[in-house]
């Protein structure tokens, strides 16, 4: 693995880390594939998706929240969106 990283550095290849959006997409896919009856109707999934996107954008505006890892932030956004959607 070190040798591979050496080669990538030599050719100046930049390796990026996953973003919050990538984690959200992964978590959301897993969430929809579970047996949660609450999230089955298409209109519920659309409402949830818009809330996830809104909360994710809001989280990016907070300097304090951006100190968290993208995976933790994505999990928090998804959890809050599910709770908000299940109440409405």
Q: Are the C-beta atoms of 78 and 27 separated by less than 8 Å?
A: yes
Full-model pTM: 0.72
Instruction: Specify the long-range contacts of residues 57-66, CB closer than 8 Å, at least 24 apart.
Output: 59/20, 60/20
For residue range 40-66, what is the model confidence (pLDDT) as tens digits?
677 788 888 899 999 999 998 988 988
Q: How many Å apart are CA 70 and CA 25, to the nearest integer?
A: 12
For residue range 3-44, what is the model confidence (pLDDT) as tens digits?
888 888 888 887 778 899 999 999 988 887 775 655 667 778
Q: How many Å apart are CA 80 and CA 31, to the nearest integer?
A: 13
Each domain of the chain, given as residue ranges in start order, spans: 17-87
């Amino acid at each position: 693995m070190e040798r591979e990283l050496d080669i990538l550095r030599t050719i100046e290849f930049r390796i990026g880390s996953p973003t919050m959006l990538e984690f959200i997409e992964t978590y959301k896919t897993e969430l929809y594939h579970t047996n949660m009856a609450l999230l089955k109707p298409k209109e519920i999934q659309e409402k949830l998706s818009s809330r996830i996107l809104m909360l994710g954008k809001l989280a990016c505006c907070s300097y304090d929240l951006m100190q968290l890892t993208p995976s933790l932030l994505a999990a928090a956004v998804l959890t809050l969106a599910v709770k908000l959607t299940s109440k409405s």
